[in-house]
Structure 1
Amino acid sequence: MTNPNEAKAARTKLCHYTTQAVYYGDDDLVGDLLGQVSFVDVFMKQTFGMVPTAAQRRIVEAVLVTLMEHGMTPSAIATRMIYASSPENLQAGVAAGLLAVASRFVGTMEPAAELLGRIVDAGNQGPTEAQRIAQDFRTRREAVPGFGHHLHRPDDPRAIALLKLAREVGTHGPHCAALEQLAAEIDAAAGRHITINATGAIAAILGDIGIPAALMRGFAVLSRAAGLIAHIAEEQREPSGRFIWDLVDGAMTPEYLAD
């Protein structure tokens, strides 16, 4: 008889190996994957248990390309500064930058997706739920995740392109529709047009291919890691770490302390 208090044995289905082979799930790494399957396909199967269709693959690729580079944002600056301090550890710089993929920068598709999920789950009451969300954020004077941008106004060209792609490949579904409902209610509550930003569009298009909200930020982590490696490559060619340090130090240190 099984003891109900006995801890369940831990195990993984992601990988196992023998003296002759390495397996990703049931796939032989050498015999089934190497040189035959794309990185995106392996990532999607390992993470979500799905082999993406051609349409889903285009959506994922578009998301990864969109999130890879945002210029000199906190994540890129952190990466460059840590690399300048520890050039023997490329991974330390990347890790520092990835810590900034969170609820304010880059990773906002997660809370945006949670809001869209509420609208989708409301079914016929979706428009009412969208109105409730918009009014709630307006009352609290808080920005709605997935909306607003300091530069891209009145619209974010990335969001427009991503939503257009979803329509073109046939994945535009209830989460994209929920985004449109929410956008209309946010505009009405604000009395003006508020930009749907890239992460808002990403939340919608990933939701429509079956990606759960709790794992969407993983796409930002995966993509931004590649972008941060590019920042380190540029830092190796044209170091900027000392410039950033001096710029901040000069702007923030009182003159009597700087002397």
Structure 2
Amino acid sequence: MDAQAESGERRLSTREAAEVLGVKPATVYAYVSRGQLTSRRDPVGRGSSFDAAEVEALALRSRREAAAPAGELAVRTSLTLIGPDRYWFRGVDAVELASRYRYEEVAEWLWTGTLVRGARFTAPPEALAAARRAVAALAPHSGPVDRLRVAVAAAAVADPLRFDLSEEAVLGSARCLIPTLVGALPELGAPGWAGDGRLARQLWARLTEREADPDALAVLDLALALLADHDLAASTLAVRVAASARAHPYAAVSAGLGALEGPLHGAAGRLAHRMLVEVLERGGAAPVVAEYLRAGRRVPGLGHRLYRGEDPRATALFARLEALEQAGPALAAAREVIGVMARHGGGLHANVDLALSVLTVSCGMAAEAGETLFAVARTAGWIAHALEEYQERPLRMRPSGHYVGPRPPRPVP
């Protein structure tokens, strides 16, 4: 049995890869030189071979770009590639990376392409104090994104080097900003872990009053790493537009938070959490799903336009939640929701919001905890995209408006 069969990995020759991509063989190697494909030399010298899943993902992305309306903005990026059933960070399977390394290490990989083992992020005392004062001044009913936006603004003012857009300066700001955001949030749990510098441990006490056990903390860290980036979501595009105008990294992150607060982007986790709580309270998913459908509402936590099956981030989180004893009831409720929809021909699979809701419900977190977790996690990806955009031509993200108003000249009213 050859190595390919043993690993279960399907490999394509250069000619086969070219056929899947609909290009000439020479173009396949151009993709390799640009970092869009990885090749492996055949051990017996018969040329190069390519991971079939990676080739198919690139082909799918190319078809999406080709199908886009004329003039629609397309952004070249070396950060995240999304395929039909998996995704990659800088060419590395993102689920495998997040399963092996902590969030801070995954963030460093996204930023620099180098894995920094044992990476730790530390909030500067001045920035942290300013962010905490700003957050404390907000009304008690303020939401998580409200607090994070204010914390970002306060941290920016405390950083005199924020206008330095060199890679070294932006990375320094990023390593300080993320722990500042977490440290500025109100503390719910007892900080009996002050010597532990892991970001997931710091965030835990801001999300729940319960004491963190190692398994639950590992799931939280996995969720952060899985959510670090996901290509050009609405919030990420907002970040790149701001960075294209050479806004400093704090302002770029603020742009991302502004887009995230929209109900169609950031609120999905909150809705899935509330649905799961209702399923647990009513003792079954069928009546809850029925009410959603009767009201003409979408059942939250299901379906993703980029994946043909289950969201790989959800699959990874469900697998880790299996080992978490307190997650049993919420996990069973989530699977019942999936089963009810499957029996009725919904054709929808679980997405990451449903998996996050299992974590937040089972760990005694509030409905908005998933939104907080998502925003903190995605800050790493936003910074990575800002770094990329700073290397591009300034103000390139300037589409032309298609004017459909009254034709001039018109008299002044």
TM-based fold match above 0.5: yes
Residue of structure 1 equivalent to 2:335: 180
1:116 Cα deviation after fit: 0.3
Residue of structure 2 equivalent to 1:99: 258
CA distance in 1, matches of 2:348, 2:218: 27
3-state SS in 1 of match to 2:306:
coil
Normalized per residue, which structure has more helix? 1
Counting only pairs closer than 5 Å after superposition, residues 157-176 of structure 1 correspond to structure 2 as 157-176=312-331
What are the Cα deviations for residues 126-166 of structure 1, in whole angstroms up to 9, with x where unaligned? Answer: 22xx2122222323443211111112123222211110111
Do the aligned partners of residues 115 and 240 (structure 1) sit closer, same or farther apart at CA in structure 2, a change above 3 Å counting?
A: farther
CA distance in 1, matches of 2:276, 2:324: 21
1:183 Cα deviation after fit: 1.4
What are the Cα deviations for residues 193-236 of structure 1, in whole angstroms up to 9, with x where unaligned? Answer: 31111111111122212222133211011111222111111112
1:170 Cα deviation after fit: 4.0
State yes or no: 1:90 paired with 2:249: yes
Residue of structure 1 equivalent to 2:301: 146
CA distance in 2, matches of 1:59, 1:112: 18
* Count of residues in correspondence between the two structures: 219
Residue of structure 1 equivalent to 2:238: 78
Do the aligned partners of residues 84 and 238 (structure 1) sit closer, same or farther apart at CA in structure 2, a change above 3 Å counting?
A: closer
Of 69, 89, 92, 2:229 maps to 69
Do the aligned partners of residues 27 and 177 (structure 1) sit closer, same or farther apart at CA in structure 2, a change above 3 Å counting?
A: closer
TM-score w.r.t. length of structure 2: 0.48
User: What percent identity do the matched residue pairs reach?
Assistant: 23
Residue of structure 2 equivalent to 1:222: 376
State yes or no: 1:236 paired with 2:236: no
TM-score w.r.t. length of structure 1: 0.74
CA distance in 2, matches of 1:241, 1:74: 18
Counting only pairs closer than 5 Å after superposition, residues 1-259 of structure 1 correspond to structure 2 as 33=194, 36-85=196-245, 87-102=246-261, 103-122=263-282, 126-127=283-284, 130-189=285-344, 191-239=345-393, 242=396, 244-246=397-399, 249=400, 252=402
CA distance in 2, matches of 1:47, 1:135: 31
3-state SS in 2 of match to 1:68:
coil
CA contact (8 A) 2:253 2:383 kept: yes
Q: Which consecutive unaligned segments of at least 5 residues does structure 1 have? A: 1-9, 12-23
Do the aligned partners of residues 217 and 204 (structure 1) sit closer, same or farther apart at CA in structure 2, a change above 3 Å counting?
A: same
Q: Which consecutive unaligned segments of at least 5 residues does structure 2 have? A: 1-135, 138-185, 408-413
RMSD: 2.8
Which amino acid in 2 is paired with 1:245? Answer: R
CA contact (8 A) 1:163 1:205 kept: no
CA distance in 1, matches of 2:346, 2:247: 50
